[in-house]
Amino acid sequence: MRIGIHTSIAGSLENAALKAVELGANTFQIFSASPRMWRAAALKPDQVRRFKALRKEHGLAPLAVHDNYLINLAAADPATRARSIAAFRGELERALALGAEFLVAHPGSYKGQSLEWGIEAVAAGLNQAARGLQSRRLAILLENTAGSGAQIGSRFEELAHVRALARRGMDFRLGYCIDTAHSLAAGYDVSTAEGLDQTVRELDRVLGLERVPILHANDSKAPLGSRVDRHQNIGAGYIGLEGFRRILNHPKLRSKAFLLETPIDHPDDDRRNMDTLKSLCRKSRTTIKPSR
């Protein structure tokens, strides 16, 4: 199984890969630049070479790049939308340069407009940002959301609609990244056996499981249907240890890459979360101490 975590590129790209190795990951996710600034520093060719060498040496695959938090391709304000399209173009260019397999994107918020307008704006923005670029390796993954405010993507049907519109003029594969905490907050009960089976059936029917290569493995501080996006350490939230045991061992999900985006409240939280996920992959019911 592919079990990994989001690691920081602070200092250098190599640090992110080395941290993933240190934590025992065989897959990982990064930001390719600061996630809270519009301006992105150019990648340094020597760092990119060493980063790729480390990935190859340690079998770190797939690599997911997560897009900037400021990007909103559904923004009603023309200036913000233009900056978002330009920023997403930069995300694509850096993901290509890094040899990433996936670029994970939040669909955005349609505040001030209708949901339908927002979905069409996201699809058009993706096409505009990707114009003239192409890759058989890199796929863009639309991430589901918790559904607070005017977020697009809390329902699987909304993600499918964005993909259907965007893929007409796109030279990239388009798929989906499903976040467990966002799913629970949006009303998909992945915490119970019955709810998980129903959610997996919905994923397959609406999105197609073959188009979901990555799951963000996050417990939730907020309860089912709350529409509140608050990640929690594995086993310490409303999904719980047994919920994650079922998710990790579900026969239709075991082939996916699981990536942690859990909080770091204590110095060893990343390692504890990694160790917990790995332990849960074993089908035995050995007592496991949840992460804080």
Q: From the candidates 36, 39, 136, 168, which is the catalytic residue?
A: 36
Helices vs strands, H then E, count in the chain: 9, 10
* 250 annotated active-site: no
Phi-psi region of 100 (alpha: psi -120 to 50; beta: other; left: phi over 0): beta
Q: From the candidates 81, 94, 161, 182, which is the catalytic residue?
A: 182
* 161 annotated active-site: no
Element (H, E) at 179: strand 173-179
Would you give the DSSP letter of residue 211?
G
* 66 annotated active-site: yes
| 3-state secondary structure at position 277 | helix
Q: From the candidates 67, 91, 120, 143, which is the catalytic residue?
A: 143
Q: From the candidates 2, 155, 231, 272, which is the catalytic residue?
A: 231
Token pair in block for residue 277: 């996920």
What DSSP line would sit under 32-84, residue for residue? SS-TT-S--PPPPHHHHHHHHHHHHHHT---EEEEPPTT--TT-SSHHHHHHH
Q: From the candidates 93, 204, 261, 269, which is the catalytic residue?
A: 261
Phi-psi region of 151 (alpha: psi -120 to 50; beta: other; left: phi over 0): beta
Q: From the candidates 216, 245, 246, 272, which is the catalytic residue?
A: 216
**Sequence-separated (6 or more) residues with CB below 8 Å from residue 184:** 190, 191, 220, 222, 223, 224, 238, 239
* 210 annotated active-site: no
Backbone dihedral angles phi then psi of residue 177, each to the nearest 5 degrees:
-120, 125
Q: From the candidates 2, 6, 55, 66, which is the catalytic residue?
A: 66
Residue 231 near residue 240, CB atoms below 8 Å: no
Q: From the candidates 57, 69, 116, 266, which is the catalytic residue?
A: 69
Token pair in block for residue 240: 């719980």
Q: From the candidates 2, 6, 106, 272, which is the catalytic residue?
A: 106
Residues with catalytic roles: 36, 66, 69, 106, 143, 179, 182, 216, 229, 231, 261
